[in-house]
């Protein structure tokens, strides 16, 4: 498994274009959309548009990198740490991380938000 760090200048997104290479031992069962042909094709062709549909809008200056998982190599995204979380401990931070943020189709929750 390869961990990819999101930063202010780069956002990583994971897809498997040939099958359903999903790190289910870590993230649980994959969402239905992850295995759909439409997601797999569009994530490679139009990652910014797919992110927008998931409610993620990134600055144009942010590079979006799409990683294609295989049966041999699976990718997992380390989400960018939200602003204002410098005082938080590991347990508090882990509560902000979502499955989608570890695939790259989402961002971590904000502290104090129910979203």
Q: Which of 97, 103, 80, 108 is nearest to 33 (CA)?
A: 103
- Among the listed residues 16, 61, 69, 113, the single catalytic one is 16
Q: Among residues 60, 59, 58, 50, which one has the least CA distance to residue 15?
A: 50
Identify the active-site residue in 9, 19, 69, 113: 19
Residue 61 annotated among the catalytic residues of the structure? no
Distance CA 73, CA 82 (A): 28
- 19 tagged catalytic: yes
Verify whether residue 36 is a known catalytic residue.
no
Catalytic residue among 9, 20, 36, 69: 20
Active-site residue numbers?
16, 19-21
């Amino acid at each position: 498994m390869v961990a990819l760090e999101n930063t202010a200048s780069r956002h990583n997104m994971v897809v498997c274009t040939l099958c359903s290479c999903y790190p289910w031992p870590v993230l649980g069962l994959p969402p239905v959309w992850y295995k759909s042909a439409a997601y797999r094709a569009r994530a490679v062709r139009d990652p910014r548009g797919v992110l927008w549909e998931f409610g993620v809008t990134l600055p144009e200056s942010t590079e979006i990198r799409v990683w294609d998982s295989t049966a041999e190599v699976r990718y997992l995204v380390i989400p960018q740490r939200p602003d204002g979380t410098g005082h938080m401990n590991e347990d508090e931070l882990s509560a902000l991380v979502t499955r989608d943020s570890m695939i790259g189709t989402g961002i971590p929750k904000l502290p104090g938000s129910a979203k």
